[in-house]
Amino acid sequence: MMTFVNAKINIGLQIVRRREDGYHDLQTVFYPVGNYAGTPSNPESFCDMLEITPSAEEGMVFVFTGNRMKCEEKDNLVCRAARLFMEHTGEILFRKGSGKGIEVHLDKHIPDGAGMGGGSADASFVLRALNSMLAEDERLNDELLASLALRLGADCPFFIYNRPMYGVGVGEKLSDIPLDLSGYWLLVVKPDVYVSTRDAFAGVVPRPGNIDLRCLPGIPITEWQGLVKNDFEDSIFPRYPELREIKERLIGSGALYASMSGSGSSLYGIFANLRDAETSRSEFEGEATIEGVYLLKL
């Protein structure tokens, strides 16, 4: 079977408390983003492609194409997710299949280190895909899949549900939020900057959120700027002033709202119309310090 894997953006990210276990409690809104095929009015195809097929060979074979990944195969989240699912379900995956193993092929296009959850999405989509290959009466429910996903990363449970959600805790406690950005355009700018999650959290100063992000659906998007904040920006922008500059350029070129996603390093702007988004895109394309510019329809 083949599936297309989307990314996410964080709309607001409040770091509210450092926990005794060293992790941080946060509050955020996860919003899925990604286009599965380009069109004349929207040329970007922004997704990873995942294909899982039965194999006559026992065990699992992994094939990776597309963007080069910076970790060893054994540490890749796709590999870990497949192994975790197999450990949990045992041999039931192969009871009615023609093979004794599986081949997992990931074609990678969502940029790494962008704060868009590409690796987490890949892992969760592996869990979802393998689960769908089970007999219907043996499939795991979303809650159990999400608990497995959490063992792979804090962002992973969101991609099990893959719809707009409000997250608290380390991001694993999720509830639906009726936020619909259909009709808007998203411009993602990924600079040639890598911000490690460890370093990003090391620089934050936890504090209570300035607004309840569950209220976002009732606040016009034209009022989000300055109100809906990503707390990582306070510590990361002074170290990487080019990120602040990209955000300011997005706002200056007509974005209704601009922010860093996750712990970075991608910045995004939400535009009311395609014309303004394309104009802004043209200002970033071709710059030596920009790794990628992506125009997506929400």
Which among 8, 190, 229, 247 is annotated as catalytic?
A: 8
**Interatomic CA distance for residues 194 and 9, integer angstroms:** 17
Please confirm, yes or no, whether 8 is among the known catalytic residues: yes
**Number of Cβ atoms within 10 Å of the Cβ of 273:** 12
What's residue 44's pLDDT?
Answer: 58
Q: Which residue has the tokens 């890749």?
A: 76
Query: What CA–CA distances, in Å, run from 12 to 26, 189, 226?
Result: 10, 18, 11
Q: Which residue has the tokens 């809650």?
A: 143
Question: How confident is residue 205, by pLDDT bands cut at 50, 70 and 90?
Answer: confident
Question: How confident is residue 202, by pLDDT bands cut at 50, 70 and 90?
Answer: confident
Question: How confident is residue 89, by pLDDT bands cut at 50, 70 and 90?
Answer: confident
Contact 295, 271 (CB under 8 A): no
Please confirm, yes or no, whether 100 is among the known catalytic residues: no
* Cα angle 57, 63, 68; round to 5: 160
Q: Got the DSSP string for 242-254?
A: HHHHHHHHHHHTT
Which among 48, 122, 155, 231 is annotated as catalytic?
A: 155
Sign of CA dihedral 226, 18, 176, 3: positive
What's residue 256's pLDDT?
Answer: 98
